[in-house]
Amino acid sequence: MASLRTWRRRWSAQDGAELIEFALVLPLMLMLLLGILDFGLLFQRYHVVTNAAREGARISVLPGYADEDVEARVAQFLTAGGLTDTPTTTVGAPNYIDVGGQCIVTRPVTVEYPFTYSAIGALAAYFGGGGFTRSGLQATASMRSELSAGACS
């Protein structure tokens, strides 16, 4: 009977329960922390790509600038923002919008930038998830020409 009480005390003791709970919760907390960090990096890079598209659209509507100047300005803006991969920059054809007999010219500029998830992608690939490995950030901006509006032809 004494040995039965000893076994019951040993199995009902709470020694080490916190360690077991910590070992179960730690991987989830680390995944959450790394997910927050990855989302922050994604958000920062998306803002840089969006602003680069705006800057390219601004250059594209100024007189005297060619498509190569737009691509160079976008690349310069991305480099200044800390993004080193090569973007794909597309300068669209001018759009002519008739507003009350006046013609407004706009040009769209699309910037695509490859983005790799760093921490979550590696962990997801380890567990069989491949959806986080690589994706692309894309931003399109369209600006109005700074030349005076004339009649649409």
Over residues 53-81, the pLDDT tens digits come to 888 888 888 888 888 888 889 889 989 98
pLDDT for residue 116: 64
Cα–Cα distance between 143 and 108 in angstroms, integer? Answer: 7
Tell me the percentage of the chain whose pLDDT exceeds 70: 71
Cα–Cα distance between 46 and 113 in angstroms, integer? Answer: 9
Q: Is the pLDDT of residue 121 over 70?
A: no
pLDDT band at 35 (very low <50, low <70, confident <90, very high): confident
- Between 39-53, 69-83, 89-103, the lowest mean confidence (pLDDT) is in 89-103
Q: Is the pLDDT of residue 91 over 60?
A: yes
pLDDT band at 114 (very low <50, low <70, confident <90, very high): confident
Q: Taking a C-beta distance cutoff of 8 angstroms, is the pair 136, 112 a contact?
A: yes
Average pLDDT over residues 79-88: 84
Domain limits of the chain?
16-144
Q: Taking the model in full, what pTM does it have? A: 0.68
Q: What is the mean pLDDT of the chain?
A: 77
Residue 4: both structure tokens together? 């039965």
Residue 128: strand, helix, or coil: coil
Cα–Cα distance between 138 and 83 in angstroms, integer? Answer: 14
Q: Is the pLDDT of residue 131 over 60?
A: no
Quote the distance between the C-alpha of residue 108 and its chain's center. Answer: 20
Quote the distance between the C-alpha of residue 7 and its chain's center. Answer: 57
Strand partners, 116: 134
